[in-house]
Amino acid sequence: MPEIKLPEVELNIYSPRDPVEVPVVENWICTKEASPNYVRHLTFDISGTELEGRIRVGQSIGILPPGEDENGRPHKLRLYSVSSPTEGERGEARFVSTTVKRTIEEWDDNSLYLGICSNYLADLSPGDTVKMTGPSGRRFLLPENATDFNYIFFATGTGIAPFRGMVMELLDSGLENDIVLIFGCPYRTDLLYADYFEPLDNKYPNFTYLPYVSREDRRADGTKRYVQTCLWDDAELLDPILEAENTLLYICGLKGMEGGIYRALAKKELHSYLDLREEVIGKSPDEWDENNLKRHVKPGPRTFVEVY
């Protein structure tokens, strides 16, 4: 296994007390077709700010939405994963992008809840400005020696954001090793950036895009296709990559996908991706309870996780 050399990163160049104001340059829907879930790709112009050239893919930016909560306090900062590559959106360091899903929930009293920051961002037009902080995050990064590795990216929903930038960056670097992107969403209309990933799968023999559409494509036994079921459903492709000693796993999206992926890895005896504590050694992964998953099953050094 080659040494994983994570780059040094700069953190919080702009803090919530001292944010920078930057304009929006684009805001477009990135679902495959008309979907009841509104997910948007937003790009900001950070030229002339200290952020230019200093945000790495895998990091997040903070956005301070305007206004106050019901107690009269200013709304809190929200973090969004960067979806542009380190060199910047469109290859320009002055542009940084993110991926935002409008949070729309119906509560038990029949009232509608609209997420404060996601709806604020989704409503913006080019030329509008936002207060930005960051960057944040120092763990969920590509190694400096990126071309030494194969990559398996597991994403659910907007968890695809960092992988858009990472795939761009790795393919541009001339990486010859394998990259597999496994993307989970409820319906085919929710495929994010599919118009970008599908042609790449055809163009690059070492890149594979595997959509797992949980509520439409059932497995042979009638259960849902979840990203972790790919360890069986696409075993022919994945087994040799997972067994290679230079493969890294990245997991981003829903909290909860993590446990499913850890169970699947353990069932396939791919223990080198995990850090299993004494309490679960010898115990069947099906018997791991929430406490086991929280305390005794951790990602190993080859596995990078960002879920919430």
How does DSSP assign 110-129, residue by residue?
A: S-EEE-HHHHHHHT--TT-E
Q: Cβ closer to ligand NAP: 150 or 228?
A: 228
Task: Report, in Å, the least distance between residue 60 CB and ligand NAP.
Answer: 6
Please report how close the Cβ of residue 214 comes to ligand NAP at its closest, in angstroms: 3
**Helices assigned H by DSSP within 86-234:** 116-122, 161-172, 194-203, 230-233
Nearest C-alpha neighbor of 258 from the set 222, 300, 224, 216: 300
Amino acid making up residue 12: N
Q: Which is nearer to ligand NAP, 65 or 260 (CB)?
A: 260
Beta-carbon contacts of residue 214 (< 8 Å; ≥ 6 apart): 184, 185, 186, 224, 225, 226
CB atoms within 10 A of CB 204: 16
Nearer to ligand NAP, 77 or 252 (CB): 252
DSSP H or E stretch at residue 81: strand 78-81
Query: How near is the Cβ of 187 to ligand NAP at its closest, in Å?
Result: 8
CB of 283 to ligand NAP, least distance (A): 20
Q: Which residue is nearest to ligand NAP (CB)?
A: 157
Residue numbers at the binding site for ligand NAP (CB under 6 A):
81, 101, 156-159, 161, 184-186, 190, 214-215, 224, 226-228, 252-254, 256-257, 260, 306-308
**Closest CB to ligand NAP among residues 100, 175:** 100
Minimum CB distance to ligand NAP, residue 94 (Å): 23
